[in-house]
Amino acid sequence: MFKSEEDVVVVAVNDESTIYDVPVEELSLPPEFDWGGATAAYQIEGGASQDGKGKSIWDTFSHLEPSRTNGENADVTCDHYNRMPEDVDLMASYGVDVYRFSIAWSRVIPLGGRNDPINEKGITFYNDLIDRLRARNIEPVITLHHWDTPQEIYDRYGGLLNTAEFRADFERYARLCFSRFGDRVNKWITFNEPYIISIFGHHTGVLAPGHSKATGYDSKTEPWRVGHTIILSHTAAIQAYATEFQPSQKGSISIVLNGHFYEPYDTASEIDKAAAQRRLEFFISWFGDPVFLGKDYPASMRAQLGSRLPEFTLEELELLRQSASVNTFYGMNHYSSKYARALPDPPADDDFTGNVEELPTNSEGVEIGPISGTSWLRVAPVGFRKLLNWVWDRYHLPIIITENGCVCPGESQMTLEQAVDDKFRIRYFGLYLDAISRAIYEDGVQVKGYYVWSLMDNYEWSAGYVPRFGITHVDYKTFVRTPKSSAFYLRETFKQRRAPTVNQ
């Protein structure tokens, strides 16, 4: 009789040889290489209406009926808002250099707008967090927008669909953060994963605010308008920081882009090779070319999308060029790789892929890598190294890995004892860190840091509490935090890998 699926995956997790047939070599990293943990406000804070916090689009989306978030919300989640000192102590015990977190815009400006009142209790919370981090020699890295736009902004004028209004409101919010926290914060991120906001929030509708053709919105144009708004809002924040705050605060600012790496489905097919490149451009260069190169959208996007893709004015292009020189690093969120196959038919009128099909298996039946505990994420460190090279060659900016991690197969069904023995995750980390080392020392790519996703198990958006990405187990009933083996692996491996001399 076959074992249950749960039993099978638990066995696999506790047998590290099943994940990948390449050994972890624990290759060296530069002595100054930073490592840290990453989180997002909505995913861990809770305190949904505590101390004057306003509603975000995720507060609304996660309470829709019927539910579009697995019947779960983040009203309390990890209760970080009330347990923050404990969490800072936890980070210190892991030996992290950096903590990347986001500010909840609606916690500091409950209604979000440039003329709306500031919530000083929200400011106090983040000031306390920053001070506690610095007291433990942990660098705070702040993300201004991690998907949780204030709901009132959408109610007033359509949120990200109104470029002029959103840009002005975001600039005021950014200035507030720079002025209140910038004396102790040296790295800023404007937006996290604009691709996800644009496509999954305003095309497929699986994330807040849930816009899609099925819900009555224009999926042909909305995602491109939203992306345009994000780019110009990023530019406004960059300009404000560079002219008013950077001279005295001496910090750096950038944006975080996510992306898979794409291999051609058929390596003998020139069409599939072109499809893989085009998919990378539609995914990454959509934002990367304007933000980091100060130029128009990629030609491949202009050719396919035509009038669906907004135009930059001459004045906006000049601002893009000016802002491109201010970006001092490339923030990369990366988890997995895929195969890209060119679709034979003309693209659908609301296509956003570049007319490309994404697949886990190639024309010869070879999988891109072993599957993790979530279907879209496969272990593919070779693709990661290739993406580091692709980004470096295109943008020539030092790269910080601002998110990377995985879910162990069957983790949500495990006992606590099984979950903390996360050999699958440890091996994933080891392979991906080896890929970084090879990119640095063999390929000449500048990679400056690695922030693991995530510091702790948390609310994973539309998937609710099922996926557990954390290096810390969280009991959502008692809020007890239990370090997983991967947390101690990372602490020790960075001690060993960041040796003063490179032995490669």
User: Which residues have a catalytic role annotated?
Assistant: 193, 403
For the chain, the first-to-last Cα distance in angstroms comes to 49
Closest C-alpha to 107, from 98, 116, 115: 116
Q: Residue count of the chain, please give it.
A: 504
Closest C-alpha to 204, from 195, 335, 460: 195
- Sheet with 337-342, edge to edge strand ranges: 261-264, 337-342, 356-359
Instruction: Give the residue carrying structure tokens 């696999």.
Output: 12
Burial 329-354 (b: 16+ CB within 10 A, else e): bbbbbbbbbbbbbbeeeeeeeebbbb
Rounded-to-integer distance, Cα 218 and Cα 226, Å: 12
* H-type alpha helices, 295-444: 299-305, 314-324, 381-395, 416-420, 423-441
Phi, psi of 39 (to 5 degrees): -145, 175
- The Cβ-side half-sphere exposure at 399, using a 13 Å CA radius, reads 29
Sequence-ordered list of residues with C-beta below 8 angstroms from that of 290, at least 6 positions apart, any chain: 231, 296, 297, 312, 320
